[in-house]
């Protein structure tokens, strides 16, 4: 793996940057950042099988997030090793897996159970799972992801100062433990930065982690109840103290506005649950992201139900809508099926609805990231961000005026 | 007629054929996946009535279905008429267009679902009366209406509404069902503006089947079973009933025939005998569809006896419980023994799942994650398509008995082939003595 910043937005203190992530293997073209880590469950997307995954834009769609916690029960580490690790086990040989325990869906950091021995997570089985660095590293060794985050003690925004400080010390200690246990001595490790909602702690943690010899960083502890207004300052406190040339991942920033916020602070890669939640809810993304193309943006409400971000395909107005989710979208779903058909599938509780939606939503969100990169390259990221947010506010304003 | 059936090869009663339908040219014997889930499972799983879906095969997309060799899929008229509704489908250009399926479709009449699913469903001479699942109003599905709904849906093959009786029923009800089915088929056929090739014409003036040149109306042979060992007046009637029904159906010169009233828990010995009886009496040059079948072994036996088409929810339903179909029989992926098994489901299978996934990994995801059921469904349907192709090709290439022997040897390595299979193969004229234990 190699990472290089290819374009910094520069000027006016902008921290947004475009990077190139060379993932090796047969893939020679780099993955441009900022980009998205596709969420997985036991290594595979929730609904999109490998053959449909291959129809999504490449190389962007080669980046997958995986949680080692999904594999604690089975298969055994020995079996995973025998099979040959994640890539062989999942039939995704060309893909790039980034492992981090937290997946914001199933494996949620559960700070009360975390103690000096290990990190605690809520799991779908209901039970709390406490995992020690040694067990974690062992699992990682069998899975062989391309990159993996060290273990962290992620705490929500409302914990005491003392608890927050403990989380930083503990996270640093676990980072060093993982480094020591790692047979590759951290060559594929991402140092995790925490610090909660305390600017000083964030800064302190970032400075410390930056001294370790790791190829990149995973920024934890966000999306756990912090104030959106405070968030930028906290993010900047981290990114300002990390080396420019190394890659930065983050979890917990899912929505487009949150991603924009993260990009503005210099984050490169995002583990987002947005697509998952949209898909399960029967929503399809429709928001336009080529918003720099127009000089005069026209944000009149059209007749779609809901906001201009997404449509709820369960709504009866789509019963006879024979148009694709988004006109001219080149995804499998839009090329083959109509809103009416997906509406029907949702009404009869068919899994195919979610498969088609996950394909489209992933395709669409990857397009959003691409548009962001174009904006950064053109030196227009701030304008892009401003227009995007305004376009969603205008809809709400109009709705208020109409009522 | 919107169908051409051409036998390409035979072995005794078994045949391999080319079935040309408006949307696709198929090879028989063939298995048709069902776009509807068997409702019992759904009721348990979701505790909501009538939640079965239509026209999607448990998580497979159209291109995946095409890739595994699926030729015809079955749509369920009852469910489609409820959701999204026949009018809507018609307005949007028919079911093919609605779901963007380019190959063939078959719809059933809706009768079976009604009788098995609905509260207070009852059959009268007029049709099937039932309580609407939407608002509990009394409703009636007539043969004419079933056809009209199916016309709107637009499948390549449509089924006549038949008077379905449980296979385990005995007595005068069987005879009643059989004669009524014949009367109903006439109402189904009724009039159309027949574009006719044959002298027999039905000059009725009401319209029912409007699209004989685009859709093919199959008749269903009903008439109960005859448990061979119990010979008494009522049961002899059952055999005669079937005979009469068959002859009645044949007289009406339909494009194809279905053998119904099976797959309902009858014993295997009765099952094969009914199939044999019907295939013997049905015309050679028309396709024969055994409804609701089924297990791979049953399909092999029925093909040996001269049947051509099959449908069943079994492969996809069993997939959701983590059970995979393999040449040896069944593989229960949830079994603890699978947890560290690094082999694919079936080393001889070339499907996407077997080329990429181990039993150990699948063991982790079946019944727990949606992807688990998707992948096992994909494999199970691939298996059924491969079986269909093997049946067709082995007959065409003149090695059908060898295929059957090979199939049985792998499923029964100890030679303990069930007696009903042996009896059926004897009638089919296939020597399986080398597969049976001495």
Is the link from the previous residue into B168 a cis peptide, with omega within 30 of 0?
Answer: no
Residue A98 has what pLDDT? 97
Reduced to 3 states (helix: H, G, I; strand: E, B; else coil), residue A238 is helix
Give A-chain residues touching B153 at CB under 8 angstroms.
Answer: none
pLDDT at B199 over 70: no
Residue B40 has what pLDDT? 29
pLDDT at B228 over 70: no
* B84/A347 CB distance under 8 A: yes
Please check if B55 is assigned to a binding site. no
CA distance, residue A83 to nearest chain B CA (Å): 7
Task: Report whether A172 contacts A210 (CB < 8 A).
Answer: no
CA distance, residue B126 to nearest chain A CA (Å): 30
Please check if A125 is assigned to a binding site. no
What mean pLDDT comes out for the span B201-220? Answer: 58
Cβ-Cβ pairs closer than 8 A, A with B, add up to 116
pTM, two decimal places: 0.91
Q: Is B290 exposed, middle or buried (0-12, 13-18, 19+ CB in 10 A)?
A: buried
pLDDT at B39 over 50: no
Task: Report whether A217 contacts A247 (CB < 8 A).
Answer: yes
Strand order in the sheet with B128-131: B122-123, B128-131, B138-141
* A351/B52 CB distance under 8 A: no
Task: Report whether B88 contacts B56 (CB < 8 A).
Answer: no
CA distance, residue A174 to nearest chain B CA (Å): 29
Give B-chain residues touching A75 at CB under 8 angstroms.
Answer: 339-340, 360-361, 363-364
User: Active site residue: B163, B308, B311, B346, which one?
Assistant: B311
CA distance, residue A343 to nearest chain B CA (Å): 9
- Dump the DSSP string for B111-143: HHHHHHHSTT-EE-SS-EEEE-TTT--EEEE-H
Please check if A26 is assigned to a binding site. no
pLDDT at B10 over 50: yes
Parallel, antiparallel or unpaired: strands B122-123 and A2-8: unpaired
* A347/B360 CB distance under 8 A: no
Residue B263 has what pLDDT? 67
Give B-chain residues touching A89 at CB under 8 angstroms.
Answer: 357-358, 361
B236 pLDDT band (50/70/90 cuts)? Answer: very low
What mean pLDDT comes out for the span B407-433? Answer: 96
CA-wise closest residue to B27 among B343, B287, B407: B287
Reduced to 3 states (helix: H, G, I; strand: E, B; else coil), residue A147 is strand
pLDDT at B333 over 90: yes
ipTM for the whole complex: 0.93
A230-234, B118-122, B276-280, B325-329: least confidently modelled range: B118-122
Q: Which residue has the higher pLDDT, B311 or B242?
A: B311
CA-wise closest residue to B254 among B283, B227, B223: B283
Residue B119 has what pLDDT? 63
Task: Report whether A223 contacts A253 (CB < 8 A).
Answer: yes
Give A-chain residues touching B358 at CB under 8 angstroms.
Answer: 83, 89
Give B-chain residues touching A349 at CB under 8 angstroms.
Answer: 46, 51, 53
* B84/A50 CB distance under 8 A: no
**Residues in chain A, pLDDT under 50:** 11, 296-305
* B59/A51 CB distance under 8 A: no
Residue B307 has what pLDDT? 97
CA distance, residue B128 to nearest chain A CA (Å): 24
Residue B147 has what pLDDT? 87
pLDDT tens figures, B126-171? 888 877 777 778 878 888 888 888 889 999 998 888 887 766 667 7
pLDDT tens figures, A343-401? 999 999 999 999 999 999 999 999 999 999 999 999 999 999 999 988 877 666 666 66
Residue B54 has what pLDDT? 43
pLDDT at B27 over 80: yes
C-alpha angle A51-B321-A103 in degrees, rounded to nearest 5: 55
Residues 6+ apart with CB under 8 A from B213: B1, B2, B195
Residue of B nearest to A42 (CA): B365
Residue B202 has what pLDDT? 23
Q: Which of A352, A356, A360 to mutate to test the interface with B (most CBs of B within 10 A)?
A: A352
pLDDT at B227 over 80: no
* B360/A79 CB distance under 8 A: yes
* B53/A349 CB distance under 8 A: yes
Domains and CATH numbers, chain A: 2-272 (3.20.20.105), 285-402 (no CATH)
Residue B108 appears among annotated catalytic residues: yes
Residue A186 has what pLDDT? 92
Q: Which residue has the higher pLDDT, B438 or B188?
A: B188
CA-wise closest residue to A247 among A62, A94, A32: A32
CA-wise closest residue to B405 among B300, B272, B299, B269: B300
Residue of B nearest to A124 (CA): B368
pLDDT at B231 over 70: no
Q: How far apart are CA B106 and CA B74, in angstroms?
A: 5
Residues 6+ apart with CB under 8 A from B97: none
User: Active site residue: B108, B298, B308, B346, which one?
Assistant: B108
pLDDT at B118 over 70: no
Residues 6+ apart with CB under 8 A from B174: B165, B223, B224, B234, B237, B238, B241
A125 interfaces chain B, CB cutoff of 8 Å: no
Residue A1 has what pLDDT? 86
Residue B134 has what pLDDT? 72
Residue B376 has what pLDDT? 97
Q: Which helix (H) or strand (E) is B262 found in, with range? A: none
Mapping DSSP onto H, E and C, the string for B343-356 reads: CCCCCCCCCHHHHH
For chain A, helix, strand, coil in percent to 5 are 40, 15, 45
């Amino acid at each position: 793996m190699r990472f290089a910043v290819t374009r910094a937005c520069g000027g006016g203190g902008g921290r947004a940057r475009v990077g190139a992530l060379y993932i090796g293997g047969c893939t020679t073209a780099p993955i441009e950042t900022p980009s998205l880590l596709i969420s997985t469950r036991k290594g595979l997307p929730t609904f999109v099988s490998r053959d449909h995954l291959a129809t999504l834009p490449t190389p962007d769609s080669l980046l997958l997030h995986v949680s080692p916690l999904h594999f604690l029960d089975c298969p055994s580490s020995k079996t995973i090793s025998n099979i040959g690790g994640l890539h062989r086990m999942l039939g995704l040989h060309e893909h790039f897996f980034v492992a981090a325990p937290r997946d914001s869906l199933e494996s949620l950091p559960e700070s009360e159970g975390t103690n000096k021995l290990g990190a605690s997570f809520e799991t779908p089985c209901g039970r709390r799972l406490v995992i020690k660095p040694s067990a974690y590293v062992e699992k990682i060794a069998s899975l062989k992801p391309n990159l993996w985050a060290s273990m962290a003690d992620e705490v929500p925004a409302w914990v005491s100062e003392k608890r927050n400080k403990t989380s930083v010390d503990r996270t640093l200690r676990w980072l060093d433990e993982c480094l020591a246990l790692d047979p590759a001595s951290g060559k594929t490790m991402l140092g995790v930065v925490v610090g909660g909602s305390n600017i000083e702690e964030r800064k302190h943690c970032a400075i410390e982690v930056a001294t370790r010899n790791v190829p990149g960083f995973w920024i934890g502890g966000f999306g756990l109840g912090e104030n959106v207004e405070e968030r930028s300052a906290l993010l900047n406190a981290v990114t300002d103290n990390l080396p420019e040339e190394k890659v930065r991942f983050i979890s917990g920033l899912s929505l487009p506005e949150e991603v924009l916020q993260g990009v503005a602070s210099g984050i490169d890669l995002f583990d987002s649950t947005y697509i998952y939640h949209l898909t399960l809810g029967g929503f399809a993304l429709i928001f336009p992201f080529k918003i720099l193309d127009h000089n005069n943006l026209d944000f009149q409400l059209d007749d779609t139900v809901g906001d201009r971000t997404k449509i709820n395909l369960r709504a009866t107005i789509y019963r006879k809508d024979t148009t694709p989710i988004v006109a001219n979208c080149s995804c499998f779903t839009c090329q083959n099926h109509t809103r009416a058909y997906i509406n029907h599938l949702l009404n009869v509780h068919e899994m195919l609805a979610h498969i088609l939606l996950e394909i489209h939503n992933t395709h669409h969100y990857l397009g959003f990231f691409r548009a962001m990169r174009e904006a950064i390259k053109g030196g227009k990221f701030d304008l892009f961000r401003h227009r995007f947010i305004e376009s969603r506010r205008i809809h709400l304003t109009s709705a208020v005026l109409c009522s | 007629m919107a169908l051409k059936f051409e036998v390409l090869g035979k072995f005794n009663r078994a045949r391999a054929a080319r079935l040309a339908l408006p949307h696709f040219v198929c090879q028989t014997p063939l298995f048709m996946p069902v776009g509807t889930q068997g409702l019992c499972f759904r009721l348990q799983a979701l505790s909501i009535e009538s939640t079965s879906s239509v026209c999607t095969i448990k998580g497979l997309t159209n291109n995946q279905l095409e890739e595994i060799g699926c030729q015809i899929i079955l749509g369920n008229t009852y469910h489609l008429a409820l959701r999204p509704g026949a009018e809507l489908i018609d307005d949007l250009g028919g079911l093919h267009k609605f779901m963007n399926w380019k190959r063939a479709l078959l719809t059933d009449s809706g009768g079976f679902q009604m009788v098995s699913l609905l509260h207070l469903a009852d059959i009268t001479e007029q049709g099937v009366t039932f309580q609407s699942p939407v608002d509990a109003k009394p409703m009636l599905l007539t043969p004419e209406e079933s056809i009209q709904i199916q016309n709107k849906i637009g499948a390549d093959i449509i089924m006549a509404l038949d008077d379905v009786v449980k296979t385990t029923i005995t007595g005068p009800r069987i005879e009643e069902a059989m004669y009524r089915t014949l009367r109903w088929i006439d109402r189904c056929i009724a009039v159309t503006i027949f574009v006719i090739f044959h002298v027999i014409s039905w000059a009725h003036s009401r319209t029912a089947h409007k699209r004989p040149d685009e859709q093919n109306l199959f008749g269903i042979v009903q008439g109960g079973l005859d448990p061979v060992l119990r010979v008494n007046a009522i049961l002899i009637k059952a055999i005669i009933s079937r005979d009469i029904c068959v002859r009645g159906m044949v007289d009406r010169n339909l494009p194809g025939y279905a053998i119904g009233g099976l797959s309902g828990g009858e014993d295997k010995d009765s099952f094969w005998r009914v199939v044999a009886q019907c295939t013997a009496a049905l015309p050679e040059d028309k396709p024969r569809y055994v409804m609701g079948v089924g297990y791979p072994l049953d399909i092999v036996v029925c093909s040996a006896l001269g049947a051509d088409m099959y449908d069943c929810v079994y492969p996809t339903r069993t997939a959701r419980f983590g059970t995979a179909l393999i040449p040896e029989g069944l593989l229960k992926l949830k079994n603890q023994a699978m947890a560290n098994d690094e082999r694919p489901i079936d080393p001889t299978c070339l499907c996407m799942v077997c080329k990429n996934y181990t039993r150990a990994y699948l063991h982790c995801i079946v019944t727990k994650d949606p992807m688990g059921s998707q992948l096992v469904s994909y494999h199970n349907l691939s298996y059924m398509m491969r079986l269909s192709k093997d049946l067709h090709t082995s007959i065409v290439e003149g090695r059908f008995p060898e295929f059957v022997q090979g199939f049985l040897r792998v499923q029964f390595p100890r030679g303990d082939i069930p007696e009903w299979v042996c009896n059926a193969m004897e009638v089919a004229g296939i020597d399986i003595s080398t597969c049976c234990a001495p």
